[in-house]
Amino acid sequence: MQLAFLYGPPGTGELAVGTELARLTGFKLLHNHLSVNLVSAVFERDSAEWMAMLRRVRRDVLDGAAQNDISLITTSVYRGTPENVAGFQWVLEPIRARGGSVLYVHLTCDRDELLRRVQNDDRRALDKLVDAVRLSQLMERWDYFAALPVGPHLHIDVTQLSPTDAASRIIEHYGLPSPLEQGVS
């Protein structure tokens, strides 16, 4: 079981790249807002209860995927804090414990391009951040451009790169199979 873990600042295109990567590899896509929106329906966003439940939901899903040898792509935002690192390590632990591997992909983008992208209307459907001023405030508080200090990484600047090209780089770097190589048509 492999988990392609795509992360970067809001608006970088983790979901767009993840969607293309899923199409090209046959991996299942578990994007960030599937769990964020589920937990936000019950708990106040960013509260201690919300964060604890979000991490438990994600860990349980990843554990189930690892138990059933289902390769996945997941997306997230890293805030650059030690607490965030510890949280990701705990959520991802079942992958390694069951013999799987985590393939880290750090997506980055020019700040001005992020501020432009975050305002795209298509982000509203998933209740994503769409306010450039709010993103600027968050970037002053958190180091969204930091790389997780764990495992080997692939770093991709997607400022001028299409989601398909970024997905192709991930496939090449990690030697991921295509659906045809996996027997999927």
Higher pLDDT, 127 or 99: 99
pLDDT tens per residue across span 30-69: 988 888 889 989 999 889 999 999 999 999 999 999 999 9
Residue 5 is predicted with a pLDDT of 97
Annotation: CATH topology of 2-174: Rossmann fold (3.40.50)
Residues contacting 184, CB < 8 A, separation 6+: 26
The model's pTM is 0.88
Kindly indicate the confidence band of residue 185, based on its pLDDT and cuts at 50, 70 and 90.
Answer: very low
pLDDT tens per residue across span 122-164: 766 766 666 878 878 888 888 989 999 988 899 999 999 999 9
3-12, 50-59, 174-183: which has the minimum mean pLDDT?
174-183
**What is the chain's Cα-based Rg?**
16
Give domain limits for the chain.
Answer: 2-174
Other beta carbons within 10 angstroms of residue 127's beta carbon come to: 12
pLDDT tens per residue across span 106-119: 999 999 988 887 77
Other beta carbons within 10 angstroms of residue 72's beta carbon come to: 21
Angle 37-39-44 from CA coordinates, rounded to 5°: 100
Q: Dihedrals φ, ψ of 118, to 5°?
A: -65, -20
Closest residue by Cα to residue 92 from 69, 62, 71: 62
Residue 128 is predicted with a pLDDT of 67
